[in-house]
Structure 1
Amino acid sequence: MPVTISEGALYRYALPLTEPLQLGSEAVTRRRGVLVRLTTEEGCVGWGDAAPLPGFSDETRGDVEQHARAALPRWTGTSFFDAQGDLDAMLQDLPFEAEAPSSFRFAMEGAVVGAATAAHEASIPEMLGTPRQTVALNALLPRSGANGPTQAVRRQEEGYRAVKVKVGRRGVEEDVDRVRAIRDALDASVALRADANRAWSFDEAVAFADGIDDLPIAYVEEPLADPARLDDFIERTSLPVALDETTREAPPATLRGLPGVTAVVLKPTLLGGLQRTREWGRVARDAGAAPVLSGSYESGVGIQMLVALAASGPAVPVGLSTYDRLAADVYAPPLPIGGPNVDVPAVATPSTARIAWERLDLIERVSS
């Protein structure tokens, strides 16, 4: 049954953080983004979140606002088929322009899926696939501090099945010592993930791998400043590797040429939406790599969609604990996310009634 968008609206938000977030050279104190609200002729509503991440996204919030204001009139009056059995075909037919920013794609696809779900009186996780009732989160340890092992044990006691530590911001030997101390403090049942964010030269990455080659490590994300040498690194070391930045620079088929990749970290806000994320996930599973969904400090509207995506994917701990950094949300009360597991039905159900309108500024409203 076709569904027609009768109205689109854009809202600006700026949410306070619990503490400053260091993103590259910038210390961010508020998470800024744009909410999209689409309403169908039948009165069904879908919400989406466009929240470019400073220092990581190609676009700014200003870019999103400019593009969205120009694009919204083309979306109102548009009809799409909300066939639950062919979600990817529905997403493929959406009227995006080639230059549409990645976070805008994520927002509009999320809003369309939300509206289609409301038309079916179903849930977003059901729309995306066969969902699980709970989603496990990984715990992210602070970048610095000598109490890493203590914090890791605390997270283990709270029930987390995976812990992630940032590496590459200090000397290789110091990183090796820190990772070894954290790994030794954790039970074998808790996975340890490391994220280098392309901080190392080839030789530095090899030195790190050699320094922990006797430890059970789930993977290290993007160890090389020169990703063209990933294949050489995989051949030279036994360290499991995960892709992150590579997913935004290369097509999914790239994965087939890197048989040593263990996991693929997928960030829909940066990657360009649901369709591209689902495509990468399919290729990853076919290649024997685990798709690991991860957030980019989205608002509750964005986090809901990420939880729904995670619930329809493999049962691996995902990186959505970023929601903890918001001191206030576009939802009031905020989503019930806290601890090692997310109750999917309790979280992944959009509710216009819970929107904190006082935290939103209307940018544009267009009707067909």
Structure 2
Amino acid sequence: MTDAPIPVFDGHNDLILRLLRHDVTAAQVAEGIDSGHIDKPRAARGGFGGGFFAIYVPSPADKALRMEEMVKPAYDIPLPDPLEEAPSVAWTDNGFYALDALAQAGAVTLCRTAAEVEAALPGPTMAAVAHIEGAEAIGPDLEALHRYHARGLRSLGPVWSRPTIFGDGVPFRYPSDPDIGPGLTQAGKALVRECNALKIMIDLSHLNARGLEDVAHLSDAPLVATHSNAWAVTPHARNLTDRQLEIIRDSDGMVGINFASAFLRPDGRMDDDFTLDFVLRHFDHLVNKLGEDRVGLGSDFDGALVPKPIGDCAGLPSLMAALAAHGADEALLQKVAHGNWLRVLRKTWGE
């Protein structure tokens, strides 16, 4: 490995949610802060070159209560109620303004093409691709999809872990498989077709098993789960079964490994006190099922409790070192860090 950290393109982070909740300002992200997982100085130290910056509308449900439940040996947390469109539109619009503020503060470079991502990855700013997680702000006429695409949207998750007019998500349930609920609605199928037409990547993370298969039948793009893990290692509803991995492999898509502790630990607990061996177990299984060209990283920074040996984006070299010690050569490290993402983005976005 070289002295400089390998630039990482990351499949998912929730920094925008911190800005929208006023936990941090764009200027603080640019200058450096002592909380959360991502800021510009720590990104430079850890090689966090950027990734998909998620715009997510939170549910009123108490996240702290969910975290308390997820330390138990088994849990089944009910899905939050659907959200109304109008407040979701207002929140999502503000998410795009927050991304603009990060760019104006010099923290990120907004990217709409894989070429722009590749150019920005070495720094000094983070490459930021706009992603919407949960399509509550999009109505059945899909007019908002076009509006957000014009503002830079290049990746969309039809659902978070709650139903939308497009389909159903999986609950926070352990142990459980993701075969929960019906597939895409007719509106959801229309959404997939329009995303294909606009070359917006469709994110399968959080979507239930039948919804994933519906996307697979409809989509002409690589299938991607930006922040999901292997169900065979951790039988959590949020993780992907071998059948789902095979569907993703056959589409020449990819999976970003999620750092959320509950989705990494075989016992499904949201407890961050463990070594990186669990990450390596998911890595091995995903590489075995998908191949070396279809595995990347999808940290869930600023949205999850991540393993202590990683800690935040400055800790990414620890993961790279663990992968190298595990047998990954330089070529594979480059693929996992960013090469596989760039390949899929070029193919999805028509470059």
Greater RCO (CA < 8 Å, at least 6 residues apart): 1
- Structure with higher strand content: 1
Q: Give 1 or 2 for the bigger CA radius of gyration.
A: 1
Scaled by the length of structure 2, the TM-score of the pair is: 0.43
